[in-house]
Structure formats: C-alpha cells, structure tokens
A and B are shown apart, each in its own frame.
Chain A
Amino acid sequence: MVVVKGFVSEVLEESFRRKAMEKYGYSKGAISKALEKAIELWLELETDGTEEERVNNEAYAKLKDEILHSYTGKYVAIAKGKIVASGGSLAEMFVTPKGKVSHRLVFKVGEQLPRRVHLGWRVSREETGRTSK
C-alpha cells in the first residue's frame, strides 16, 4: 500500500467522504477502500490500454493457432491471460466473470470481419463548422 496525495475541492471531498462512509461504514479504512475503487473505475473507463488489456492481447497472440485449431466456430473468452470460457453462443460468454476483471477478450473463432470500414456521411470526429465563403 502507498499514500496518494492530491488536491480536490472541499465540496467533492465532503461528498466523497460521506459516500465512502455510507458504503464501507464509519471505519478507518473506508476512505482508502473508496479511493481504490474510484481509481480502478477511472482507469477502466479512461485508460486506453490497461495492463489487463495488454496481457490478454499477448495471450491471444500466443494462443492464436491453438484457439483456431480447437475452437473454430465457437466463442472464446480470455481474461487475465488465460482462456476462461468457450461456448456456442455469445450469451454464454456474458456470464459474470469470477474475481475482479476489468478487461476480457470475447470473440468468435474464425469469423471474418471487415478490417476496413466506411463510416458513412454522418460520422466525423468533431463539428468542423460552416465552410467559409
């Protein structure tokens, strides 16, 4: 465990502290637990490539031939660098994973998907505004 220091507004600190106490009780470790959860969630939402994502993709690259040989036509789920589930339907892969997992790979083995996609007329990254005269 390490100490994380930073500055937040008083309003945010107060509501965070209150919520942490509600959730984890009026104990000494409540703030730490809530902070850890908040950081985990933020990382899951905001980080482009998490450690788990890297590990899972490396496992996929390593196991690709074996997966193709043994699971063609089936769905496979990889979590924490291991194959954790396989089955004939996608719904089977959506069963809640055991333990804390923030990233999983789920795919149908052997399915050919388009690698280049036309996004159509509506799509752009941001509004560019009117064209000047």
Chain B
Amino acid sequence: MVGVNLIGPRGTFPGKDELLVRLDTGYDGFLLISEELYKKLRLRLSEMPRELWATGRSVAGELFILRRASLIVQVPKAKLSLEGYGETFKGNDEDLLGLKFLEALRITLDGPRKMTSLL
C-alpha cells in the first residue's frame, strides 16, 4: 500500500490524511479509482476526450470502457508529485496504482515486514 494524496479540479483528497492505495503490477495503467472517488474528486471537470479513453480487460476477459481524467498524485512521504490520470468504469469499487505509476519510482516490497518502501 502507498499513502497518497490526489489532486483534482476541486482540491486535494483526502486532505490532511493519506489515502492508502494498493500497488498492483497486474494493472498497467496509472491510477484506477472507484466510481465513487471519481465523482468525489469531480473528475468530470478534468476529463480526457473520449477518444483518449481506454478499454480495460480483467483477468476473466471482461471488457470495460475506462473513463479517464487528468489528476495529480502526491506521495507525501517521498515528497513526490506526479501528473497523471485516474480512470474508472461502471461498477468499479477498487483503487489501484499500476505500472505506469511505478515508472517514476523505485520501490522495494518487503514481504516479511509487509511494507512498501520508496527509495
């Protein structure tokens, strides 16, 4: 899990605290967010043109149209701020950081201590 702040058109979420988001190397996008969070962040005010949206495929082979919007992900503990995008689809309730997010970071996964360390 990585503690992040998300900055959208209507400010920073969650504000004082951090949002813990799971890293998933099986997801090759930047940030997948739940529909609820997409609405909460008012990402319709920073949405990408429809022709830049993607098609997502689950391991079960289901296909989803992914709505995409521009946002900034901050990792306060690493003093890092990354411009990127958040995407969601109808019925999604997962928040995940993916491979595209990892491109900018060096991370070690410490299994025995159940920790993700940013280098």
Asked if A122 CB lies within 8 Å of chain B CBs, one says yes
Contact A103/B44 with A113-B54, A117-B66, A119-B58 known, Cβ cut-off 8 Å: yes
Residues of B contacting A116 with CB < 8 Å? 54-57
Q: Which of B48, B55, B57 contacts A107 (CB 8 A)?
A: B48
Asked if A101 CB lies within 8 Å of chain B CBs, one says yes
A107 CB → nearest B CB, Å: 5
Taken residue by residue from 95 to 121, chain A's Cβ proximity to chain B (1 for < 8 Å, 0 otherwise) reads as 001000111111110000111111111
Q: When A and B form their complex, what is the total count of cross-chain residue pairs whose Cβ atoms lie within 8 Å? A: 132
B91–A114 contact, CB under 8 A?
no
Residues of B contacting A86 with CB < 8 Å? none
Q: Which of A115, A120, A124 contacts B55 (CB 8 A)?
A: A115
Which of B49, B62, B66, B72 has the largest number of chain A CB atoms within 10 A? Answer: B49
A119–B56 contact, CB under 8 A?
yes
- State A56–B52 Cα separation when bound (angstroms): 13
Q: Which of B70, B89, B91, B96 contacts A93 (CB 8 A)?
A: B70
Residues of A contacting B92 with CB < 8 Å? 123, 125
B83–A90 contact, CB under 8 A?
yes
Q: Which of A89, A118, A124, A125 contacts B27 (CB 8 A)?
A: A118
B72–A124 contact, CB under 8 A?
no
Chain B interface helix/strand/loop/mixed: mixed
Asked if A1 CB lies within 8 Å of chain B CBs, one says no
- 10 additional A-B pairs beyond A117-B56, A119-B58, A125-B92, beta carbons within 8 Å, are A44-B44, A60-B49, A91-B7, A105-B47, A106-B69, A114-B54, A117-B57, A117-B66, A122-B22, A122-B27
Taking beta carbons and an 8 Å cutoff, which residues of A are in contact with B?
Answer: 44-45, 53, 56-57, 60-61, 75, 77, 89-91, 93-94, 97, 101-108, 113-126
23 chain-A/chain-B pairs, Cβ below 8 angstroms = A57-B51, A89-B83, A90-B72, A91-B7, A93-B70, A94-B7, A103-B44, A104-B45, A104-B47, A106-B46, A107-B48, A108-B83, A117-B29, A118-B56, A118-B57, A119-B29, A119-B64, A121-B59, A122-B22, A122-B94, A125-B89, A125-B92, A126-B91
